[in-house]
Amino acid sequence: LLAPAMHTNMWENPATRKNVQTLQARGARFIGPVAGELSSGDRGLGRLAPEEDIYAEVLSVLSTGKWQGKKVMVSAGGTREPLDPVRFLGNRSSGRFGVEIARQFAWQGAQVTLLAANIEPTLLESLPGGVEVVATPSAGKMHQAALDYFPHMQVAVMAAAVADYQPVDFQSEKIKKVPNQQEFSLRLRSTADILADLASKKHSDQLVAGFAAETGSWEQVLQLGKEKARRKGADIIFINQVGTETGFGDIATRVCAVDGEGSEIGQFSGNKPQVATQIVTLVRQQVQ
């Protein structure tokens, strides 16, 4: 296991790239480098991976891998529904939670497919090499990919923030502003509920989990999440509170796990990597 740290120019130098490939081909695993401030004062890819990530990767290399041989699909990020060549309807999801869940599964030996909707490249680059990343930028593309991959999976954790509506018409030319027009209406049609669709198709040896992103007080969030769990048909729903200040991006989070009937089966809090670890542990208990 190698944890390199160097200047971006050196990391990206063709000689280094070739050496990295040779080592990977011989079975060496890399963690990092990650992007950020470098000792030269420049910014870029080249920082040593965080110690806790190196520690977790060491454990994973040394462990037999609790998820060895299992196939897991994770969705992450926010979908974008195109309006015209330059505009879309989107949301504030960073994709961080789903990426951390994918990372935990991969570290524990699972073969992971990540359905990635508009996630920052540096976040995707931080994933272990073996994770298969499938670009699913819109709700329609994610639905199709989910249906294609799901039959081969033991577990699906759908953490993406998927648009519930998409524009009825895609305008192939840029929509022009109408002078003096004060209001503008868009016609939208509903998208497929991917999670509910997978839940309705799953076999007894498959587990489907999703999220319920809710706003309001924690009590309201729990109530809305439990109602959602009863509607979706999934095995587990992870309820989390979102808003402009909570839930999205790189901040502490709190999650309540409920089963398909809305009964509580776990409560977790911490930063997203910590909660992701607890989520993967709970999924494992439910699979057994």
Nearest to 198 by CA among 166, 162, 156, 227: 156
| Residue from 195, 207, 222, 282 in contact with ligand CTP (CB under 6 A) | 195
Q: Name which of 4 and 266 has its Cβ closer to ligand CTP.
A: 266
Contact between 191 and ligand CTP by CB under 6 A: the answer reads: yes
Q: Is 186 exposed, middle or buried (0-12, 13-18, 19+ CB in 10 A)?
A: exposed
Residues catalogued as catalytic: 91
99 binds ligand CTP, rule: CB under 6 A = no
Tell which one of 116, 158, 221, 229 touches ligand CTP (CB under 6 A).
Answer: 158
| Minimal distance, residue 8 CB to ligand CTP, in Å | 35
Q: Compute the distance between CA of residue 6 and CA of residue 23 in angstroms, rounded to an integer.
A: 17
CB 154 within 8 A of CB 205: yes
* CB-CB contact of 57 with 149 (8 Å): no
**Of the candidates 257, 237, 238, 240, the residue with the CA atom closest to the CA atom of residue 249:** 240
What gap in Å lies between CA 190 and CA 203, rounded to an integer?
27
Report the candidate in 73, 35, 36, 49 with the shortest Cα–Cα distance to residue 1: 49
Stretch that binds ligand CTP, among 21-29, 121-129, 192-200, 270-278 (CB under 6 A): 192-200
Total number of residues binding ligand CTP (CB under 6 A)?
15
In the complex, the smallest distance separating the C-beta of residue 216 from ligand CTP, rounded to whole angstroms, is 11
Q: Which residue is nearest to ligand CTP (CB)?
A: 210
Residue 164 as a binder of ligand CTP (CB under 6 A): the answer is yes
106 lines the binding site for ligand CTP (CB under 6 A): no
| 117 touches ligand CTP (CB under 6 A) | no
Eight-state DSSP code of residue 240 = E
Task: Pick the stretch among 110-118, 199-207, 208-216, 269-277 that binds ligand CTP (CB under 6 A).
Answer: 208-216
| Cβ distance to ligand CTP smaller for residue 49 or 146 | 146
Of 76, 162, 88, the closest CA to residue 119 belongs to: 76
Q: Which residues of the shown chain bind ligand CTP in the complex (CB under 6 A)?
A: 75, 139, 158, 160-162, 164, 191, 193-195, 210-213
